[in-house]
Amino acid sequence: MKTGLEVLAAREFDLLRGKRVGLITNHTGLARDGRRTADILAAATGVKLAALFSPQHGPAGRLEDEDYVPSATDPATGVPLYSLFDRINGNEVLRPTAAMLSGLDALVYDIQDVGARFYTYITTLGYALEEAAGAGLEFIVLDRPNPINGRDVQGPVLESKYFSFIGYFPLPVRHGMTVGELARLFNAEKKLKAKLQVVTMEGWKREHWYDDTGLPWVDPSPNLHSLAAATVYPGSCLLEGALNFSVGRGTDRPFEMVGAPWLNAQACAAILNQRPVRAVRFIPRKFTPTWSRCAGQECQALDLLVLDREGLNSVEMGVEIIGAILKLHPKLLDVDSLMPLLGHQETARALQRGDDPVDVSGRWHRSLAAFCKKRAPHLLYT
């Protein structure tokens, strides 16, 4: 299996020769031998690497969600390194500006995604694609795998009222697409008319998980430490909006454990283990986060033990957890705080009413079918 970067290198960077290039990347932009995409392009014959751009979490991927990243100079290449997650004079900088793009012929995108709608790297992809279209620049995506496979499409489709930095486009929570395919979808559906090219992978199939690729795992952000965490992330992260609830940040297994000081974990696990939630068991335990939500407080928690990742619908799992918590603690979980991530008002209201979560998730089928039809022309792999 070869990533888009490896394929382009085998083609001797034909798409970039003679051009001044800006590269949108971070610590996940690596060749199989560990070399950075930035260093590879800087050394490529006929290619002028003129600018680097980093997304949320910074070029090394170590900064937390709320930490803005200042622009700087890349020490290895001496190239300007512009932050696409910065705040200057009180204003957020989340997309390339005209000054950053000045003198460039093309933007290249090489970042590893995790396959969930609210992961901000794909918002950065969309914003940069818009700016490249407006500036008349070529936009080249070096494709990488969807780590939780490109087959499964799950969860409610984002409603337009909830568009934000964690919700760029009306995607389901688990979209089942690569970043190259998403770029094609964004470009077509938003009528951007960008000069887009995707350097496709070789040997990747839609049913592949990340550990099928032979690529080494690199934490894509500070709190996703494994493929196991990425597998449950589309469901467990739905709870992150609640200010009095922990999704395991500040522990050794973020997103694989969720809880709160007020949660009756024994009763919650008992409810969930009797529910028709496929391929996962809920184990009551305790943890004390060292930072983030509920820091320093002992939390009763659910340990999410995946029995069969192929059979798991992680978003339905998340909705089941929300439903069980509301049944036990209806006044302690603020459903409205979940809306930026859930992004679907009827789902939230149905859970507040106490509707069966199976019925709630069943109401997504029509919109999921419509999304799958919309995405179909933009898929690149069998």
Q: What is the pLDDT of residues 240-270, one digit of tens each?
A: 999 999 999 999 999 999 999 999 999 999 9
Coil, strand, or helix at residue 161? helix
Q: Do domains 4-221+374-378 and 227-343 have the same CATH topology?
A: no
The class level of CATH for 4-221+374-378 reads alpha beta
Mean pLDDT throughout 114-120? 98
**pLDDT (0 to 100) of residue 382:** 86
**DSSP tally for the chain: helices H, then strands E:** 12, 14
- Report in angstroms the alpha-carbon separations of 239 from 5, 226, 248, 317: 35, 19, 11, 11
Average of per-residue pLDDT values in the chain: 97
Percent of the chain with pLDDT over 90: 99
Residue identified by tokens 């050394």 is: 43
Mean pLDDT throughout 130-155? 98
Say how many C-beta atoms besides its own lie within 10 A of residue 133's C-beta. Answer: 18
Residue 195 has pLDDT above 90, yes or no: yes
Task: Locate the domains of the chain by residue range.
Answer: 4-221+374-378, 227-343
Indicate the burial class of 24 (C-beta count within 10 angstroms; 0-12, 13-18, 19 or more). Answer: buried
Residue 219 DSSP class? -
From CA 329, how far away is CA 349, in angstroms rounded? 16
Strand order in the sheet with 80-83: 72-73, 80-83, 47-54, 19-25, 106-110, 138-142, 195-199
- Report in angstroms the alpha-carbon separations of 155 from 83, 288, 319, 343: 31, 30, 9, 10
The CATH code of the domain at 227-343 is 3.90.1150.140
Mean pLDDT throughout 318-343? 97
Residue identified by tokens 């918002």 is: 123
Residues 55, 26 contacting (CB under 8 angstroms): yes
What is the distance of C-alpha 326 from the center of its chain? Answer: 27
Residue 37 has pLDDT above 90, yes or no: yes
From CA 284, how far away is CA 277, in angstroms rounded? 16
**pLDDT (0 to 100) of residue 154:** 98
Rg of the chain over Cα atoms, rounded to whole angstroms, equals 21
List CB contacts of 307: < 8 A, sequence separation 6 or more: 279, 280, 281
Residue 76 DSSP class? T
- Report in angstroms the alpha-carbon separations of 24 from 34, 96, 115, 119, 219: 17, 10, 18, 16, 18
**pLDDT (0 to 100) of residue 132:** 98
Residue 290 has pLDDT above 90, yes or no: yes
Residue 80 has pLDDT above 90, yes or no: yes
